[in-house]
């Protein structure tokens, strides 16, 4: 008998099944519930959630395009290792887009936006007090998404998410190194600078915040070699 599949999904038949499977698989991979080298069996997923192979195959293809799953003809599909070379490339893309958004945000910053951003920080602090790391990571994403949405650039946020896909697992591993409390302070530094009207300070704070993951890269790899590939 197959081992239980580490995939939690309750299908809403009113919505596209492929999208729901994609989202559930992507989340399980990013949170490391499905670690690198885990086999992704179409048949097993079909049995687990009671769907045909077509939507499962469509979801796997999308994840392969994001390089979260490796598909080997005649061998099967497997959760990909975290590729070090792709991390730097994806980080560069994300950083360029987020700094561009930050420049737009600074032009329209207001006390109301500051209040909304600080509410997210307060929720992050609460998640940290509960030791709820997944909620913390969800709110971390909400913080960055807030900037894109505040200037009406949701499409740019989608592009940022695409770049983040190859780096998000690294952030999960960084949490083990005690980074989460520092993340909140880095977020607060960005908001504080925006409140002062200090655009260069806000930019510098965001650059520092985004670049910290690369500064920790060697340490994270050293402690988690089984997750990585060149």
Task: Tell me the pLDDT band of 3, cut-offs 50, 70 and 90.
Answer: low
CA dist 26 and 41 (Å) reads: 15
Residues in the chain: 230
- What distance in Å separates the CA atoms of residue 81 and residue 68, rounded to the nearest whole number? 8
What gap in Å lies between CA 132 and CA 156, rounded to an integer? 28
Q: What is the pLDDT of residues 112-141, one digit of tens each?
A: 999 999 999 999 999 999 999 999 999 999
- pTM of the prediction? 0.86
Start-end ranges of CATH 1.10.10.10 in the chain?
17-80
Q: What is the pLDDT of residue 166?
A: 82
Structure tokens at 97: 């887009």
Q: Does the structure show a pLDDT above 70 at 35?
A: yes
Q: Tell me which CATH code domain 83-229 carries.
A: 1.20.120.530
Q: What are 178-188's pLDDT values in tens digits?
A: 888 999 999 99
Closest Cα to residue 175, out of 207, 223, 142, 230?
A: 223
**Per-residue pLDDT at 48:** 82
Checking if the pLDDT of 5 tops 70, the result is no
Q: What is the mean pLDDT of the chain?
A: 91
Check if the beta carbon of residue 186 is closer than 8 Å to that of residue 212: yes
Q: Find, among 201, 214, 210, the residue nearest to 94 by Cα.
A: 210
> CATH 1.20.120.530: which residues of the chain?
83-229
Over residues 200-223, mean pLDDT: 95
Rounded CA separation 171/199 (Å):
26
Identify the band that residue 81 occupies on the pLDDT scale cut at 50, 70 and 90: very high
Alpha helices (runs of H) in 109-227, residue ranges in sequence order: 111-129, 133-150, 154-164, 168-176, 180-195, 199-215, 217-223
d(CA 223, CA 173): 9
User: Which residues lie across from 83 on neighbouring strands?
Assistant: 229
3-state DSSP assignment of residue 2: coil
Angle between helices 42-49 and 53-65 (to 10 degrees): 130
Supply 23's token pair: 């989202």
Is 114 within 8 Å of 191 (Cβ atoms)? yes
* CA atoms lying within 13 Å on the CB side of residue 62: 17
Q: Are 121 and 188 in contact (CB under 8 A)?
A: yes
The model's confidence at residue 50, banded by pLDDT at 50, 70 and 90, is confident
Average pLDDT over residues 172-180: 83
List the CATH code of the domain at 17-80: 1.10.10.10
């Amino acid at each position: 008998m197959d081992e239980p599949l580490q995939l939690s999904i309750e299908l809403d038949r009113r919505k596209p099944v492929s999208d729901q499977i994609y989202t559930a698989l992507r989340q399980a991979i990013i949170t490391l519930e499905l670690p690198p080298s885990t086999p992704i069996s179409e048949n097993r997923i079909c049995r687990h959630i009671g769907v045909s192979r077509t939507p499962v195959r469509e979801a796997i293809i999308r994840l392969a395009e994001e390089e979260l799953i490796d598909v080997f003809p005649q061998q099967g599909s497997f959760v990909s290792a975290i590729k070090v070379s792709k991390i730097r490339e994806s980080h560069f893309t994300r950083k360029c887009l987020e700094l561009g958004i930050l420049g737009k945000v600074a032009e329209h910053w207001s006390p109301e936006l500051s209040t909304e951003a600080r509410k997210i920080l307060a929720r992050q602090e609460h998640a940290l007090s509960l030791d709820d790391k997944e909620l913390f990571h969800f709110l971390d994403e909400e913080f960055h998404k807030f900037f894109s949405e505040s200037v009406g650039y949701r499409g740019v946020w989608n592009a940022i998410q695409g770049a983040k896909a190859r780096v998000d697992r690294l952030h999960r591993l960084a949490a083990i190194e005690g980074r989460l409390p520092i993340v909140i302070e880095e977020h607060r530094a960005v908001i504080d600078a925006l409140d002062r009207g200090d655009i260069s300070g806000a930019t510098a704070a965001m650059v520092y915040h985004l670049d910290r993951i690369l500064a920790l890269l060697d340490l994270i790899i050293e402690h988690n070699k089984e997750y990585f590939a060149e």
